[in-house]
Amino acid sequence: MHWYLDVLKKYAVFSGRARRKEYWMYALFNYIAIIVAVVLDAGLGTLPIITALYGLAVLLPSLGVSIRRLHDTGRSGWWLLFAIIPLVGPITLLVFTCLEGDRSDNAHGPDPKSAYAPAH
């Protein structure tokens, strides 16, 4: 759960790097929260409202962690725009987020797995 909260604490941080674990644990808890929001909306009869508010609340943190994840693989955050290309874009970004990050410093900062980076 702390992975999710750490990303929320970095609300609009688009610089630096994010490990695979940080990105995927955030994604897992985010999807769980979306399911809970949809269930609450369905139960209360307000179907799009709670889910839409939650989506707006996590938009910037989600963009931030995605950009930091791309930075960890040595790519620019502009690669997120590749997602607008049907089928090819999302699959390519999925592959990029699954790749191991650079094991040394890159243009976006030090390796978050190294002993000098904050441990999680």
pLDDT tens across 40-57, in order?
A: 999 999 989 999 999 999
Mean pLDDT of 4-28: 95
pTM, to two decimals: 0.89
In a domain, 74, yes or no: yes
In a domain, 117, yes or no: no
**Total domains present in the chain:** 1
Domain with 48 in it = 2-98
Measure Cα distances from 37 to 19, 66, 97 in Å: 27, 22, 25
Positive or negative torsion for Cα 39, 41, 42, 47? negative
pLDDT score recorded for residue 120: 52
In a domain, 111, yes or no: no
67-109 residue pLDDT tens: 999 999 999 999 999 999 999 999 999 999 999 999 999 999 9
